[in-house]
């Protein structure tokens, strides 16, 4: 077990309106390591869809680096992560305690149904992430920046129920239930040498994004071509009553929306601070992409039980999203020219 509660680290909460628990937990880990989460998580922008890969978890993300969420979220920084599963049923917390003893925070997958501080407690099953920063004889100390934010102890028994949950199918949440938790957790390695967010690094990141957006789509659906393939598939699914494909828009789109929101904020604030209007305006355009995801995701969420009836509205939101991406990519090119 870890040290007494008085010796526990202070874990700062970090959140933004458009992000999920995935970015929030990684943000807390990065801040704990002394880095600005926005500089790290907001630097990269792309569109990526892996057909058949979407899972019913709030933290689903289509990884460019297989199995490594951190490297996929922040490819321009020395960060990496790995999934693990604690399999010692008699002392499952030992795996987490061992990580904490090395001074590393742990990100644990949990089921909201069993967490006393979540609004879904005792009501709705849903796969979620939170940060574990301490364990003592009676409590597990957790940090959750997603509203309503919470940091503090919860009874060991509650944590174990949440962390070990089967997360069964729940009619109240068609998007994040039906995905076993099974004592999964993430370890995150944060390198010692972090690059400074200057013009050179921003230019490098924009070059990478522009290459991805203008490149061909093969395997993973990437760039503007991949976006078109994805949206065409969704609209065809609606017209042919393919409810499952329409439903997947909601969990899949959250990762793309979150990344767009963070990248847009980074460009807008950096461009304002450094007095580079083209970068500031590119940020505004990328933030527009994030907001257009809301319309498509919410329409798909409400429309998937009867997708044919939602087809017209889905097409409207899909076209708006497509246009927003095209404008934002043009803005990105102008921003790159200004650096």
pLDDT for 1 beyond 80 = no
- Identify the band that residue 243 occupies on the pLDDT scale cut at 50, 70 and 90: very high
pLDDT at 3: 47
Which residues are within 8 A (CB) of 152 and not within 5 positions of it... i.e. 6 or more apart? 141, 142
Average pLDDT over residues 218-231: 95
pLDDT for 242 beyond 70 = yes
C-alpha pair distances (Å), 6 with each of 2, 3, 48, 132, 326:
11, 8, 44, 16, 52
Burial 239-272 (b: 16+ CB within 10 A, else e): eeebbebbbbbbbbbbbbbbbbbbbbbbbbebbe
With contact defined as beta carbons under 8 Å apart, do 20 and 59 qualify?
A: yes
CA distance 30 to 20: 16
pLDDT at 309: 97
CA distance 243 to 252: 15
- Identify the band that residue 5 occupies on the pLDDT scale cut at 50, 70 and 90: low
In tens, the pLDDT along 86-105 reads 986 778 899 999 999 999 99
CA distance 230 to 222: 9
In tens, the pLDDT along 110-168 reads 999 999 999 999 999 999 999 999 999 999 999 999 999 999 999 999 999 999 999 99
- Mean pLDDT score of the chain, rounded to an integer? 95
pLDDT for 19 beyond 80 = yes
CB atoms within 10 A of CB 96: 24
C-alpha pair distances (Å), 154 with each of 114, 272, 295, 326, 328:
11, 42, 36, 46, 43
List of domains in the chain: 5-190 (3.90.70), 199-338 (1.20.120)
208: left (phi over 0), alpha (psi -120 to 50) or beta: alpha
pLDDT for 250 beyond 90 = yes
With contact defined as beta carbons under 8 Å apart, do 113 and 168 qualify?
A: no
pLDDT at 323: 98
With contact defined as beta carbons under 8 Å apart, do 252 and 49 qualify?
A: yes
CA distance 139 to 201: 43
CA distance 267 to 215: 22
**289: Cα separation from own chain's centroid:** 16
Average pLDDT over residues 193-197: 92
pTM above 0.85?
Answer: yes
């Amino acid at each position: 077990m870890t040290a007494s509660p008085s010796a526990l680290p202070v874990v700062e909460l970090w959140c933004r309106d458009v992000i999920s628990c995935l970015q929030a937990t990684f943000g807390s880990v990065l801040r704990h390591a002394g880095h600005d989460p926005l500089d790290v998580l907001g630097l990269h922008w792309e569109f990526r869809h892996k057909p058949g890969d979407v899972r019913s978890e709030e933290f689903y993300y289509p990884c460019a680096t297989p199995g490594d969420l951190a490297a996929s979220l922040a490819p321009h920084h020395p960060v990496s992560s790995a999934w693990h599963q604690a399999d010692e049923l008699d002392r499952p917390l030992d795996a987490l305690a061992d990580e904490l003893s090395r001074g590393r925070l742990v990100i644990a997958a949990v089921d909201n149904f069993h967490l006393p501080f979540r609004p879904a407690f005792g009501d709705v099953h849903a796969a979620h992430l939170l940060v574990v920063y301490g364990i003592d004889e009676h409590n597990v100390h957790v940090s959750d920046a997603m509203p309503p934010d919470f940091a503090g102890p919860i009874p060991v028994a509650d944590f174990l129920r949440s962390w070990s949950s089967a997360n069964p199918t729940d009619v109240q949440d068609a998007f994040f239930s039906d995905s076993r938790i099974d004592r999964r957790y993430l370890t995150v390695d944060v390198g010692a040498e972090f690059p400074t967010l200057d013009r050179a690094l921003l230019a490098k990141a924009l070059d990478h994004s522009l290459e991805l957006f203008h490149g061909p789509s093969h395997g993973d659906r990437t760039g503007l071509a991949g976006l078109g393939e994805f949206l065409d598939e969704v609209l065809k699914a609606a017209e042919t009553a393919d409810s499952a494909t329409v439903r997947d828009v909601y969990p899949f789109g959250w990762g793309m929306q979150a990344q767009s929101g963070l990248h847009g904020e980074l460009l807008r604030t950096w461009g304002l601070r450094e007095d580079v209007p083209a970068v500031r305006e590119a940020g505004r355009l990328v933030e527009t992409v994030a907001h257009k995801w809301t319309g498509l995701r919410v329409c798909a969420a409400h429309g998937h039980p009867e997708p044919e009836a939602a087809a017209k509205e889905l097409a409207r939101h899909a076209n708006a999203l497509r246009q927003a991406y095209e404008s934002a990519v043009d803005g990105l090119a102008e921003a790159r020219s200004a650096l």
